[in-house]
C-alpha cells in the first residue's frame, strides 16, 4: 500500500530585486516532484509582506502582520518537511528569511529542514551553517546533506533551466531528498503517535 505523500514547503528566502532564488526554487521543486514522495508548496517570501517589527510577547500582531500570517502560517503548519532556498549575504542568510522564521515557532517543531544554498565561490555554505543553529533552537531537525550551488549564476540558462541537468547537482539533490523523505516520514509518524513536548 503506497504511503501518503509528504507535504513539502519550499521556502524562497531572498526578497532582493533581481534575485536568483525563484529560479533555484523552481529547479529544486521540480526535483522534489520528480522524486515522487512529495506534494510541493513553493512559498516565496517576496509575496508575503511580513513586517520586520514583531509584537511584544503576548500581544496581538498588527493588522498588516495578521494578514500576512493568515497566508503563511497555515502553509508552514501543514508541512511535513521544509526545504529552504537561501543565498549568502555577508557570510550569512537574508534578514527576510530570519524574519519569517522568527514570526513562527511551533510550526517548525519536530520537522525536518533541508537546505539548497547558492552564491559565488562559497555557494552559500556559511548561510546554511548559521541556519542549522537557528532551526535547532526551534526543535527542527536539519538534514545532513545539502545542495550548494557555487557560481550559481552560470548554473542556469536564460529560461531558468539548469545548464547541467543530469550532473553532480542533480545527484546531490536526490541524496538530500532521500534523507529528507526518511526524516519526514519518521517524524510525521512520531508526531502522530505522541505529541511533541517542546
Rounded (5°) CA angle 135-78-191: 70
Residue 3 has a pLDDT of: 83
**Buried (b) or exposed (e) across 119-156, using 16+ Cβ within 10 A?**
beeebbbbbbbebbebbeebebbbbeebbbbbebeebb
Rounded to whole angstroms, the Cα distance separating 87 from 139 reads: 23
Residue 59 has a pLDDT of: 87
- Summarize pLDDT for 79-121 with one digit per residue, the tens: 999 999 999 999 999 999 999 999 999 999 999 999 999 999 9
Kindly list the distances between the CA atom of residue 180 and the CA atoms of 124, 142, 158, in Å, as whole numbers in the listed order: 20, 9, 30
Nearest to 41 by CA among 5, 2, 78, 10: 10
The domains found in the chain, sorted by start residue, are 6-54+64-193 (3.40.50.360)
Is-contact 185 112, C-beta < 8 A? no
Using a pLDDT cut of 90, give the percent of the chain over it.
Answer: 83
Angle between helices 21-35 and 168-193 (to 10 degrees): 70
Rounded to whole angstroms, the Cα distance separating 43 from 78 reads: 13
Rounded to whole angstroms, the Cα distance separating 100 from 50 reads: 7
Residue 2 has a pLDDT of: 66
Residue 29 has a pLDDT of: 98
Is pLDDT above 70 for 180?
A: yes
Residue 60 has a pLDDT of: 87
**Buried (b) or exposed (e) across 14-42, using 16+ Cβ within 10 A?**
bbeeebbbbbbbbbbbebbeebebbebeb
Mean pLDDT computed over 158-181:
92
- Summarize pLDDT for 114-167 with one digit per residue, the tens: 999 999 998 999 999 999 999 999 999 999 999 999 999 899 998 888 898 778
Rounded to whole angstroms, the Cα distance separating 5 from 2 reads: 9
Residue 54 has a pLDDT of: 87
- Summarize pLDDT for 20-62 with one digit per residue, the tens: 999 999 999 999 999 999 999 999 999 999 999 988 888 888 8
Amino acid at each position: 500500500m503506497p504511503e501518503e505523500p509528504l507535504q513539502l514547503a519550499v521556502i524562497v528566502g531572498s526578497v532582493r530585486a533581481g534575485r536568483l532564488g525563484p529560479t533555484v526554487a523552481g529547479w529544486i521543486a521540480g526535483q522534489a516532484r520528480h522524486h515522487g514522495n512529495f506534494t510541493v508548496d513553493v512559498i516565496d517570501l517576496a509575496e508575503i509582506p511580513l513586517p520586520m517589527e514583531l509584537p511584544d510577547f503576548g500581544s496581538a500582531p498588527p493588522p498588516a502582520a495578521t494578514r500576512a500570517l493568515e497566508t503563511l502560517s497555515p502553509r508552514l503548519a501543514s508541512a511535513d518537511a521544509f526545504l529552504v532556498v537561501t543565498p549568502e549575504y555577508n557570510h550569512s542568510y537574508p534578514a527576510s528569511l530570519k524574519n519569517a522564521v522568527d514570526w513562527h515557532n511551533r510550526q517548525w517543531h519536530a520537522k525536518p529542514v533541508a537546505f539548497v544554498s547558492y552564491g559565488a565561490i562559497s555557494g552559500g555554505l556559511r548561510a546554511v551553517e548559521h541556519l542549522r543553529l537557528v532551526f535547532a533552537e526551534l526543535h527542527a531537525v536539519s538534514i545532513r546533506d545539502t545542495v550548494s550551488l557555487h557560481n550559481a549564476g552560470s548554473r542556469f540558462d536564460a529560461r531558468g533551466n539548469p545548464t547541467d541537468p543530469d550532473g553532480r547537482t542533480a545527484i546531490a539533490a536526490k541524496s538530500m531528498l532521500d534523507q529528507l523523505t526518511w526524516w519526514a516520514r519518521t517524524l510525521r509518524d512520531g508526531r502522530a503517535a505522541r505529541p511533541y513536548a517542546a
